[in-house]
Amino acid sequence: MFFLREIHRHPEFRNGMRATASVAPGIAAWGLMTGVAMVKSGMSVLEAVAMTLLVYAGSSQLAAIPLIVAGAPFWVIWATGFCVNLRFVVFSLHLRNYLMHLPRWRRLVNGFLTADLSYALFTGRYSEPAQDAPGRLAQESYLAGNYFLTWVAWNGASLLGIALANWIPGAWGLGFAGVLCLVGVLCSLANTRLRLLAAAIAGSAAVAAYALPLKLNIVVAIAIAVLACFWLEGRRPPPREKLA
């Protein structure tokens, strides 16, 4: 809620921005390439701008691009986007303790703007929710500082990328940069043996079922991989895998 005076005048707002400053160049570089990748994959400038400002979630944006270009039905694109975003569902269970005292519209704005790095920085600084009003305001201000700078870095760089993309020939294949970003995110998520297996099964199934209409191969791939991992979980000795 960086537009509220009581938040952006709070000293913790500056501290939050300072903490984000070290990761902002990385966010900006990723945003820049996402902007280029959207336009070079065939989206119009208006579509790319709308996606940057409204969707505001790098991996689900990039995952949606090939599906949109292929003309997949809307529910397949939304279901895929939701699955890619499921990590935020886990975060929201945690953030609930910090935000429930706020009115709903303020919770939703805070939630929409809190992406991966803001969540990590915020919960790293405040491991416990505040118990009194000044403490809660300080925590909300710190979170707002985190996501304000993130928002500026991501959207500024994405809009620059969209503008630059018009000057870059399509034959260069810069849209592939978006796929490579997803490869990096995929590697970061495959952090247990069963998750690595889920990735391998889903990848193979998506290729094997590629001929299915409506991009249903993605839906089939997710279902097979999740069910296979459920089945394997039941067959394993007590898990030593970390669960988050």
Footprint on residues 48-67 left by another protein (CB under 8 A): 50-51, 54-57, 59-61, 63-64, 66-67
User: Does the footprint of another protein cover residue 187 (CB under 8 A)?
Assistant: yes
CA dist 140 and 107 (Å) reads: 10
Site string for another protein, 205-224 (x = CB under 8 A): xxx--xx-----xx--xx--
User: Does the footprint of another protein cover residue 80 (CB under 8 A)?
Assistant: yes
User: Does the footprint of another protein cover residue 93 (CB under 8 A)?
Assistant: yes
CB 128 to another protein: min, Å: 17
Q: Which of 4, 8, 111, 126 binds another protein (CB under 8 A)?
A: 111
Q: Nearest to residue 110, comparing CAs of 162, 147, 165, 154?
A: 147
User: Does the footprint of another protein cover residue 92 (CB under 8 A)?
Assistant: yes
Site for another protein in 12-51 (CB under 8 A): 26, 29-30, 33, 42-47, 50-51
Angle of CA points 169, 170, 175, to nearest 5°: 125
From the list 9-17, 122-130, 138-146, 197-205, the region that binds another protein by CB under 8 A is 197-205
CB 31 to another protein: min, Å: 11
CB nearer another protein, residue 33 or residue 138: 33
Cβ–Cβ < 8 Å for 56, 112: yes
Q: Which of 5, 22, 74, 133 binds another protein (CB under 8 A)?
A: 74
Q: Which of 13, 88, 142, 151 binds another protein (CB under 8 A)?
A: 88
Q: Which of 17, 95, 157, 162 binds another protein (CB under 8 A)?
A: 95
Site for another protein in 130-169 (CB under 8 A): none
Cβ–Cβ < 8 Å for 146, 22: no
Long-range contacts of 134-141 (CB under 8 A, 24+ apart): 136/98, 136/101, 137/6, 137/7, 137/10, 138/10, 138/12, 139/12, 139/98, 140/1, 140/7, 140/98, 140/99, 140/102, 140/110, 141/7, 141/8, 141/10, 141/11, 141/12, 141/13, 141/16
Angle of CA points 3, 4, 6, to nearest 5°: 140
Q: Nearest to residue 110, comparing CAs of 91, 83, 87?
A: 91
CB nearer another protein, residue 104 or residue 235: 104
CB nearer another protein, residue 14 or residue 156: 156
CB 197 to another protein: min, Å: 9
User: Does the footprint of another protein cover residue 77 (CB under 8 A)?
Assistant: yes
- Give the burial class of 21: count Cβ atoms within 10 A of its Cβ; 0-12 exposed, 13-18 middle, 19 or more buried: exposed
